[in-house]
Amino acid sequence: MFDWLKTKRRERALGTHAIPDSQWSAALDELPFLDHYDATVLARLRELTTLFLVEKNIVTGAEDGAHALEVTAPMRVLIALQACLLIVGRGATVMEAMRDFEGWDNVVVHPGDFPRTYDYEDEAGVVHRLDEPIAGESWYNGPVLLSWPSVEAGYDQSGMALVIHEFAHKIDMLDGVVDGLPPLAGSARSEFADAQQAAYQDFYRRVDAGEDTAIDPYAAEHIDEFFAVSCEVFFAEPELLREEYAAYFEQLQRWFRVDPIAGALAREGQGVN
Ligand SMILES: [Zn+2]
């Protein structure tokens, strides 16, 4: 019953909250890695973006003061569109695809890097408090935080896209565990994990050896960062990821059900979910 009501509400939202053409094409213009996507993908992306904007709040993290940031409609579209790229191939319907983004409501946009405060205990048992400026963060069952300058900066640096990165963490968290794996079961899970581990081990070794890698070396930090960074590259510079880690690329393609090189939905040989 609840699902039925929600579906009705979403269907209505698609009709009444359509994104104006000018805003939609302006957002697409900012994202050259979407240039070659076919009409089916783009239509689905637009519907999902519409639903995202209705269901999530994209708010400012700095309402007043010298660094106040106003979150405008074009900014919201740009953020929502990139988030929805992660679910554009998922689910038989857009309503189903939105399930990957359930359980939280807010995206908070900051005027710059923001401090993340955390405590850690050293070997002597002394607790230290660290303030580390970060560009983005995803909370389990909570908000996604983004630094607006870093959201914008991404478009000029191929293969980097902060919004995709942070929402990839949301996909990782879907099964309640932050382990770099989307919620998969059985052989689909082990095939994904095997391909990912092989790629991660190789990448870690290269970064550790001081190699100047084309993929952001931040991916070597931890397996969950490897997943988030590889999702950025998968969408923003897919040829690079396929070239470097073809088997892992194929697993990502199976999960996302999108062929980012062809710019089309990947409907063949799935058997996942
Ligand atoms: Zn991350």
pLDDT for 158 equals 65
| Interval between CA 166 and ligand 1 midpoint (Å) | 6
Q: What is the pTM of this model?
A: 0.91
| Interval between CA 157 and ligand 1 midpoint (Å) | 17
The answer to whether position 25 is within a domain reads yes
Domain that holds residue 39: 10-265
The answer to whether position 2 is within a domain reads no
Express each pLDDT in 83-133 by its tens digit.
999 999 999 999 899 999 999 999 999 999 988 877 778 888 888 877 788
| Interval between CA 223 and ligand 1 midpoint (Å) | 10
| Interval between CA 227 and ligand 1 midpoint (Å) | 9
The answer to whether position 272 is within a domain reads no
| Interval between CA 127 and ligand 1 midpoint (Å) | 24
Q: Does position 176 have pLDDT exceeding 60, yes or no?
A: yes
| Interval between CA 167 and ligand 1 midpoint (Å) | 9
Indicate left, alpha or beta for 139 from its phi (over 0: left) and psi (-120 to 50: alpha).
beta
| Interval between CA 168 and ligand 1 midpoint (Å) | 8
| Interval between CA 162 and ligand 1 midpoint (Å) | 9
Number of domain units in the chain:
1
The answer to whether position 273 is within a domain reads no
The answer to whether position 106 is within a domain reads yes
Express each pLDDT in 39-53 by its tens digit.
999 999 999 999 999
| Interval between CA 116 and ligand 1 midpoint (Å) | 13
| Interval between CA 225 and ligand 1 midpoint (Å) | 5
CATH number at residue 202: 3.40.390.10
| Interval between CA 10 and ligand 1 midpoint (Å) | 30
| Interval between CA 221 and ligand 1 midpoint (Å) | 9
The answer to whether position 3 is within a domain reads no
| Interval between CA 128 and ligand 1 midpoint (Å) | 22
Express each pLDDT in 63-90 by its tens digit.
888 889 999 999 999 999 999 999 999 9
The answer to whether position 158 is within a domain reads yes
The answer to whether position 5 is within a domain reads no
